[in-house]
Structure 1
Amino acid sequence: MKTLETTPKTTYQLMRETEHELEDFLQSTFFDTKSLLLDDQVSKFEAELRGREEAKKEIDKRINRYLEGIKSAPWAAMRGKGKAIHISIDSEWVFNHETGKNDILCYSYSVRIGDKSFSGVKHTDMAKLIKQCRDQGLSKEDEMDKRKQLTKKGYKIGFDKFIQELLIKAKARGFIEEWPEQTFIYAHFLRADIASFEEFWNIGKNNKNHKNSLTVVQGTVTSGRGAYGIDLDAIGRSKYKIENTKFYSSSNNAFETKVRFVDTMLLSSKASLDEIGELVGFPKMTLPGNMIERMDDLYCKDTSLFNRYAVRDADIALEYGLRMQKFALVDLREDIGLELNSLPSTLGNLGVSLFRHTCGSTAAMHDFLGYETRKKQYYHAKSNAIRNTYDISKTVSREYTDNLAVSALFGGCNFGAYFGVSEKGDYFDYDLSGAYTTSLVNSKKADYPNTFESKNIEDYLGDTMGFAYVRFKHPDGIRFPVMPCRTDLRGIYYPMEGETYVTSPELQLAHDIGCEIEILHGMVIPWVEGSTSMYKDFTTIIRKQRSKYKKEGNELYSGLWKLVGNSLYGKTLQGCNNSKGFDLATGLSKNIPYSPVTNAHYGAYCTSYVRATMLEVIGKLCERYGDDIKIISATTDGWLCNATEEQLDQCLDGPLAQRFQQICTEVSGEDMMQLKHHAKQIISMKTRGQLTAELGDTKPICAKAGIKAPKGVDENEWMVELFLDRYPGQKVARKHLASARDQWLKEMDLVSIHTEQTLNLEYDFKRRPVNPRIVEVRHPKSGEMVEHLSFDTVPWNTVDEGLDARTYFDEWRVNNCLKTMEDWDNWMDFYKVRSYLKGTGVKYLEDGSEGIFKVQMLRAITQGKWGLPKAPKRAPRGHYDKMVAMFEADGIEGITKQDLANSKGRKLLESKLPVTPRMLPLLSWLVRKYPMVDMTLIFHPIEVEEAVSMLEEYNREHTEKLAA
């Protein structure tokens, strides 16, 4: 376009411009339609040119990919570069009782890429066969024969092929343009669904590391960050090998994508898929009747409902998995600044990542925990070079004291202090607030290099960390001893005296209540001067986030934060006690490795602090309110009792409780005690076995002592009925899934194994029963008032006393239950005889202690022992006849001449017998008939005084009868 010149022109120049030129100028300037048309054409041309350039680039890109595939080796595969695809899987099956395997009916799936998704169900040939057989009206036997034939032939889909089909389907629908770089596979309890595919142990068979594909975690299966490849090695470290997995497109071209398994069960606070569905707004569908156990019937009768049910499970797993991805990768970054590269396999791993974040760095975390980096060199033959490797190991000064800390590492404070039905009243279930995360904050930085040995109790008192092996004795009158003693089979006992490993918080408490303590071996690990706990920031975040989401009504996130917090405590103890787990890579049991945060010192100290704080408060309740306080049970971080909140508040003034409250105030501002449940009447069975007989103001207390209630019942009512109606030798159904070991080694499906076990809701004898009585309770089924035995308990004097009582009770309960006063009398008779006559060879007969006393009495009479008149060496004719007549005349029946003859030469027990109520009628007769009898020769020295007292009372109560 021309422009109008603005510079001055001469007259000559103006004359040279013709009128035509001037006309052209004006028209081109103000009326240039040709120019506008030309501009439009140019812009269109440029756009077309740009489109062609882009098309050319796309064509070049595809040609290069094609040439790359042509030039590469036939076995090579192109790596996916597209965005991630998320796939959840589920399967439905019916158990075949004849083959002992699951007949797989379908594989369901739910797929999501960005905002696009699709789902579906793939029915197996087995499902189609079953439907065909039933449509044809074949007999059950014929159907089973065909099912067996198909099972033998093989009908399950290969896992790789199944995922491959879904990837091809996603591409065909246009949901993805390129093969994905990453593929996430979700399932709730992965081991169940993976086992439904053809030979699940061969998953990833094209991967050279396929034997390391999966690892057993918490009874399920998961993989590491990489695809089919996890190698746990080195101390406190997980090294993941990222491997690609090969699939084939519809044109049979190979491509690779990184497959990552995610088991949503390991990332949830709820174990049930039903509960998970409620949390994410996908309620699990309910099926009519008992159809869940007969999915083959549902498939044949209503395939549409079957499909909807199958897909819903996959939808729930996918939705929850994606929410966990958001929680880990988005919400954690926005809420607390924690940036993760990928979703951790378990909440425990997430807890470790959060702790590392709050420490500031991995190096700072290792320094706090007592780890150091050690450099190693080795010759690498392939590269002909020296290479370096680095291991994370315990420092020498920490390792020096590790075994003592492990020995002092006990579980929670768990015991039942009452058995049977409680009297009606108000019973409260109190918990220490965030017990273990709070307790971890009590651990400052350990000064391992300055550890010192000490037998001086003063060195273990106050704010310090110490571990010792001690001999102790509690003062008389202590209702709840404070020194835990480990047993091989029966858990922890709290006796009045003994020897045990213990940590400084419990030494502090024992010292405060006046225990006699002799430290036999011990070490004190002081805190680094001026140090603070690196657990504090972690716990503060946990408490803050829990409180935040609780107020928002976000039950999902609130539960997750609680589990993340508790998981750090579990990770702190991981691997300390040399427990084993099944290793899928080798088929062997291996020691569970240390976690990155394992530290036996902090773990033992933390657990001890929780136990000691609980027992300090319980002890003060008993001391200040006496027998008015009834402690029902204690479990891990709380206890069940009849103390009111006002009474409890008056007993939080001990040094341990005050420190606990101080930590709670610093990290959350909450009170240290939280009321969880309230009830009007309790049924207490044993450790971890408490039920609600009469409801209070909260949900019922229902700790089922390891018993699993059937689905769809009120668990508390079902358990109360089971307890009240139990009988000796009663069997209950027990169902458990095949273990990972059996699946791997025996090539089993994940089948439910049904067995029966003997019901055991009897007392576990962690304490000594006293004060037996009958208490009434309402039967949940009939509504009638029924009676049941109840008793209080006191501590055993020694651990051995408790273990002996438990052993004898296990023998007695084979044919008995503790339900009535008659049961109590039978048990006490059995217990006293078995405990006092241990090692004598005397057996407990059907007629109990009365029969044993009768046998010994006849021996004493015929042998002239126990201070009785001397008996002739050889009985004269008629001597035994006269004695039999004497017994019969005095109302003692069942004694024969042969009994007397046999007694003459048999071994007699002297100063061995216990005294029992059943012996008193014969004992009373013996003393009246032979006043010279020596009671000290009959009864054990400990029992003589009680025997005299019981005999006098018996004689007073039966004066008239004896006179007659």
Structure 2
Amino acid sequence: MEIFNEPAAINEARDPTALHVIVAPSRAGKTQRASNEQTYFATINPNDPPVKVFIAPENVQLPPKRKGGQKKPPITAHLIIGFDTEYQSREPVGPTKAEAAGAQNEILSYQFCTRLISQDQQDETPVQSSGIIIPNEGQRWLLRDFIAAAIGTFIGEHPDNRVPTDIYLVGHFTRADLPMFDEFADEAKSTMSNVRSTFVSIDRAIPMELVDGQGQEIAEFKIRLRDTILLAPSNAKQLADVGKMLGFNKIELAATAAKEREIKSQMKLFRAENWPLFREYAIRDAEICTQYAEQLIRQYDELFGKFAMPLTLTSFGSKLAIAQWEIKGWKPDDVLGREEKKVQSFSKKLGYSVTKTIHPHQELVYYELDFVSEAYHGGRNEQFMYGICDEGIWRDHDLSSAYPTAMTLLCKPIWEKIERDVAIDKIDALDLAYASVDFEFPHSVRFPTLPVRTANGIIFPRKGRACCAAPELALARQLGAKLELRRSVRVPVEQGVGVFTDFINDCISRRKDFKKGTFGNLFWKEVGNSTYGKTAQGLRKKRVYDLRADDMVELPESELTQPFFAAFITSYTRAVLGEVLNRFPDTVQVFSVTTDGFLSNANDAELEHATAGSIFDSFKKAKANLGRDDPPMEVKHTIRQPVGWRTRGSATLKLGDKAGENIVLQKGGIKLDTRDLLPEEENAQIVELFFNRTEGQTLTYESGVGLKEMIRFGADFVMRTVTKKLSMEFDWKRRPIDLIDRSVEFQGKTYTHLSFSSVPLEDFDEFQNVREVWDKWATNPFRILRSVPDLRAFQHFIDTKRKTSESVLRYSSKTDGDLKRAKRDLARAFKHYQAGFDLIHKRMGKIRHNRFCEILNEVGIPCQVSDLDNAKRNTFEPHQFIESDRSVAALNRLKREYFYELDLDLFLARQTPH
């Protein structure tokens, strides 16, 4: 059904007796009250006479009225309105955010698919209607008018069905579609929330009151907004992928991607010339959203007995894991090291005190939170080889289901028996244990395995200080590293009583029941794989835009957040990889490592030896215990020659033989317009960009304007031009060796480029110094590394240039810059248990923030509690102190009178050694 807002083509056919969709223009912040002010016409074809749509009281299933004290009955029916818009995109706006102000696309149509579903009717033919709305030229519909038209159309086609007042409005990437409604920004601020840069309903519904001609209320609809992009598996984020997963495809407009893109750039013309295909194409997206929404609601009902649609797919995993614990009689608080407390607080809104239940960490757990959070690091990502590599057989190996398998090794903690100062040789690889250590690996170790955090991600130097979990400590001992314990914590566990084992097993078992690529198969794969992230949510402070507050706020923790778990899972995965890499003979070239996989030229015999270590054996056994029939390590791609430049920056010079698995391509943050390119074409474009890059080169690309700018500047989802400096140089996480200018033929041209292998850095200081000197050498003037002489010139610059720190100079010019820098560095070290504060906390116990501030103020360094909150979000970097008489005197007094364990050498600035 098509709905036209009185277009000229059908005005003459208007029936003066037509009934109305009784709605009125909405106003942000106010409950919608409807009257008969507007009329909308519906027709199957633009040339047909209009038909009428109308919402009457008898068509609405009102919720039962509750008497005092009665619980709200569970919801057993929903009206799903899948929606989408088609619009003509405008030309990209300029690079500044302000240039997006008021930028609008041209709306061509609104489309919907309305479906009635009930809890007790699953297998029946869906009761639904679809429609497309063409607004007047230059006009936009109000969101509530659109919803009312969708409801009225459904009632007109299915008059024997009563619609419930609980409605899900479902789109795919609502950030693009919702701004096409009039007065959207005001509506969003009053009734919506944002998750991952798109719009949803979290704690409130969009209200819409329907009244009759006399102003009497017929019903109040509660409309909850959902976005299927938050509910789609990670490998099916496009709506076309979601449709394919459900068994029907998006409508294709052309035979080739390039031609389809051309059509989409002129959709207004296409609508005029091919109305039937335009209509079918436009409505299909709304139909996919509706069908996927029903699948998710029924899945949620089956699993949790609640007929509702969740916000995100990851929420399924959290609830399922907790449900598994409750089935066993475990309290979630006991598993997560928390406790239940009831607190009273005064509610300004209610005018009296209310009791609230909170779940703080148990006292012994609380004392160790900051320390264990420091042991949480992300995946291992390093580029070991730069430039053109040898030709041969290079295979990209991945650990199969690395994080879910690691989760199954977590046993139920006995939090009340936390142990401290456990000797390193008493810590086993699978213990729930964490330590701060000073370490030094033998020079023979090609790939040191203890992570050291920097402002540029983690590095793996030969020696230094690390805070990590048991798996990496055990591996370091196995590799012959010297370890000096500074502090350790271990939580005893109930051996053999897995925390997540049943949950992961359940996901795997259910996944096997469905054919590969179907909704059920991909759903259970995603639930199992994504739940790890919930254990780490909020551990690394991340600020996100909050629509309601119109400000940046910290991402909150999830109901599964537990640093003890997250730190173990990631440490174990890095340890499995680290053991494999270090068991390769020196003749094996390892190109790179990325989170749970690596690219190397190892043959089968070498790989078999590399996977015979004790830690990999534990991984293999854990996989076997899950009943998985896939190998613990699998080949994702096979190529004949790679080229690399930095972490997550690599491409393929010579493809492998197996189509679909013959390219390795990681763009390292480079954004190009590759929408119409085949994988081979995209790879070639990146390779040629690397070989042909020039000093100071920039790239200009298009990026969608951010949600914050859309709300603040009243913009649609328009594209913005962005210009960035091309970054395809080495990232200095390792030291170059075996320098050579190597040549290769690619796409009919011969290229010669600097190439090298690498060895571990000596320590954190070497990384810091090289990065600082590189930033100066490479930008003044702009330089790149294309040949051996280029790298030799940089090495000479390092040897002859004394270290200067622009960051220090920047602070020196400020009032009290020396004391502000001292406060900053001490606060960061304090919050991250570095520079001796791990030992200080060990001796003194938990030091309250206000007490630490008092101590700094007493020695002459002004400090407030808010400074410590800010310090948690930033990494402590040694040797950044501004040395003045008073700052050094304050530091010495702090060590002498309060914290004798303080490592002053890590604060004081020093010159680069020759």
Common topology (TM > 0.5): yes
From the superposition, tell whether residues 546 and 721 of structure 1 become closer, same or farther in structure 2 (CA, over 3 Å): farther
8 Å CA contact 1:227, 1:245 repeated in 2: no
From the superposition, tell whether residues 555 and 65 of structure 1 become closer, same or farther in structure 2 (CA, over 3 Å): closer
| Structure 2 residue matching 1:761: 3-state secondary structure | coil
Distance 1:609 1:433 in 2: 14
1:461-540 matches, within 5 Å, as 461-488=428-455, 490-528=456-494, 530=495, 532-540=497-505
1:630 aligns with 2:597: no
From the superposition, tell whether residues 223 and 826 of structure 1 become closer, same or farther in structure 2 (CA, over 3 Å): same
8 Å CA contact 1:273, 1:284 repeated in 2: no
8 Å CA contact 1:80, 1:256 repeated in 2: no
Counterpart amino acid of residue 503 in structure 2: F
Q: 1:794 aligns with which of 747, 750, 759?
A: 759
Counterpart amino acid of residue 647 in structure 1: E
1:739-888 matches, within 5 Å, as 739-780=706-747, 783-814=748-779, 820-821=786-787, 824-839=788-803
2:878 — aligned with what? Answer: none
Counterpart amino acid of residue 639 in structure 1: F
| Structure 1 residue matching 2:413: 3-state secondary structure | coil
From the superposition, tell whether residues 620 and 202 of structure 1 become closer, same or farther in structure 2 (CA, over 3 Å): same
1:669 aligns with 2:628: yes
Bigger share in helix:
1
Distance 2:166 2:804 in 1: 73
1:728-747 matches, within 5 Å, as 728-747=695-714
8 Å CA contact 1:225, 1:260 repeated in 2: no
* 1:517 Cα deviation after fit: 1.1
2:129 — aligned with what? Answer: 118
Range 497-506 or range 730-739, more displaced: 730-739
| Structure 1 residue matching 2:640: 3-state secondary structure | strand
CA deviations on 1:704-726 (whole Å, 9 max, x unpaired) are 21223421112223222322222
- TM-score, length-normalised on structure 2? 0.72
1:93 — aligned with what? Answer: 87
Distance 1:701 1:95 in 2: 33
Gaps of 5+ in 2: 1-56, 66-72, 94-101, 118-125, 806-910
* 1:226 Cα deviation after fit: 5.8
Q: 1:214 aligns with which of 192, 198, 218?
A: 192
From the superposition, tell whether residues 161 and 461 of structure 1 become closer, same or farther in structure 2 (CA, over 3 Å): same
Counterpart amino acid of residue 646 in structure 1: A
Counterpart amino acid of residue 740 in structure 1: L
| Structure 2 residue matching 1:445: 3-state secondary structure | strand
Distance 1:700 1:194 in 2: 38
Distance 2:392 2:350 in 1: 79
1:314 aligns with 2:314: no
1:654 — aligned with what? Answer: 613
CA deviations on 1:156-204 (whole Å, 9 max, x unpaired) are 2110111012112222223554342321211111121111111223338
Counterpart amino acid of residue 143 in structure 2: F
* 1:426 Cα deviation after fit: 0.6
Counterpart amino acid of residue 255 in structure 1: A
1:194 aligns with 2:197: no
| Structure 1 residue matching 2:730: 3-state secondary structure | coil
1:615 aligns with 2:578: yes
* 1:578 Cα deviation after fit: 2.2
CA deviations on 1:327-375 (whole Å, 9 max, x unpaired) are 4334xx5xxxx54442221111011111122223595322111122112
1:172 — aligned with what? Answer: 156
Range 410-419 or range 439-448, more displaced: 439-448
From the superposition, tell whether residues 774 and 538 of structure 1 become closer, same or farther in structure 2 (CA, over 3 Å): same
From the superposition, tell whether residues 547 and 81 of structure 1 become closer, same or farther in structure 2 (CA, over 3 Å): closer
* 1:382 Cα deviation after fit: 10
1:234 — aligned with what? Answer: none
CA deviations on 1:763-820 (whole Å, 9 max, x unpaired) are 212111111223333323xx34433322101111112222332333344444666564
1:107 — aligned with what? Answer: 110
Larger radius of gyration between Structure 1 and Structure 2: 1
Range 278-287 or range 657-666, more displaced: 278-287
Distance 2:637 2:145 in 1: 52
1:604 — aligned with what? Answer: 567
Distance 2:691 2:178 in 1: 42
8 Å CA contact 1:225, 1:342 repeated in 2: no
Distance 1:439 1:418 in 2: 29
Gaps of 5+ in 1: 1-60, 70-78, 127-149, 205-209, 229-243, 842-939, 944-964
Q: 1:355 aligns with which of 321, 324, 329?
A: 321
Distance 1:382 1:553 in 2: 52
* 1:686 Cα deviation after fit: 1.5
8 Å CA contact 1:80, 1:255 repeated in 2: no
Counterpart amino acid of residue 789 in structure 1: L
| Structure 2 residue matching 1:647: 3-state secondary structure | helix
* 1:383 Cα deviation after fit: 9.7
| Structure 1 residue matching 2:386: 3-state secondary structure | strand
Counterpart amino acid of residue 109 in structure 2: C
Counterpart amino acid of residue 205 in structure 2: A
| Structure 1 residue matching 2:365: 3-state secondary structure | helix
Distance 1:308 1:750 in 2: 24
8 Å CA contact 2:337, 2:362 repeated in 1: yes
8 Å CA contact 1:451, 1:526 repeated in 2: yes
8 Å CA contact 2:592, 2:598 repeated in 1: yes
1:692 aligns with 2:664: no
Distance 2:397 2:741 in 1: 27
2:167 — aligned with what? Answer: 183
1:291 aligns with 2:263: yes
Q: 1:344 aligns with which of 298, 310, 314?
A: 310
8 Å CA contact 1:116, 1:175 repeated in 2: no
CA deviations on 1:712-748 (whole Å, 9 max, x unpaired) are 1122232223222222222223322222222222222
- Choose between structure 1 and 2 for higher RCO, CA contacts under 8 A separated by at least 6 residues: 2
2:141 — aligned with what? Answer: 157
8 Å CA contact 1:82, 1:178 repeated in 2: no
From the superposition, tell whether residues 63 and 368 of structure 1 become closer, same or farther in structure 2 (CA, over 3 Å): closer
| Structure 2 residue matching 1:581: 3-state secondary structure | strand
From the superposition, tell whether residues 246 and 681 of structure 1 become closer, same or farther in structure 2 (CA, over 3 Å): same
| Structure 2 residue matching 1:575: 3-state secondary structure | coil
1:267 — aligned with what? Answer: 231
* 1:217 Cα deviation after fit: 1.5
From the superposition, tell whether residues 103 and 477 of structure 1 become closer, same or farther in structure 2 (CA, over 3 Å): same
8 Å CA contact 1:451, 1:525 repeated in 2: yes
8 Å CA contact 1:82, 1:177 repeated in 2: no
* 1:381 Cα deviation after fit: 10
| Structure 1 residue matching 2:558: 3-state secondary structure | coil
Q: 2:553 aligns with which of 576, 590, 605?
A: 590
Counterpart amino acid of residue 470 in structure 2: S
CA deviations on 1:534-584 (whole Å, 9 max, x unpaired) are 2001111222333443xx233443332222122211111111122122211
Distance 1:380 1:558 in 2: 46
From the superposition, tell whether residues 81 and 108 of structure 1 become closer, same or farther in structure 2 (CA, over 3 Å): same
1:15 — aligned with what? Answer: none
Counterpart amino acid of residue 635 in structure 2: L
Aligned Cα root-mean-square deviation (Å): 3.2
Range 283-292 or range 508-517, more displaced: 283-292
| Structure 2 residue matching 1:393: 3-state secondary structure | coil
Distance 1:942 1:396 in 2: 46
| Structure 2 residue matching 1:605: 3-state secondary structure | helix
| Structure 1 residue matching 2:485: 3-state secondary structure | strand
Query: How high is the sequence identity, in percent, across the aligned residues?
Result: 25
From the superposition, tell whether residues 81 and 513 of structure 1 become closer, same or farther in structure 2 (CA, over 3 Å): closer
2:8 — aligned with what? Answer: none
1:402 — aligned with what? Answer: 369
1:866 — aligned with what? Answer: none
* 1:835 Cα deviation after fit: 4.3
Distance 1:620 1:555 in 2: 39
| Structure 1 residue matching 2:162: 3-state secondary structure | coil
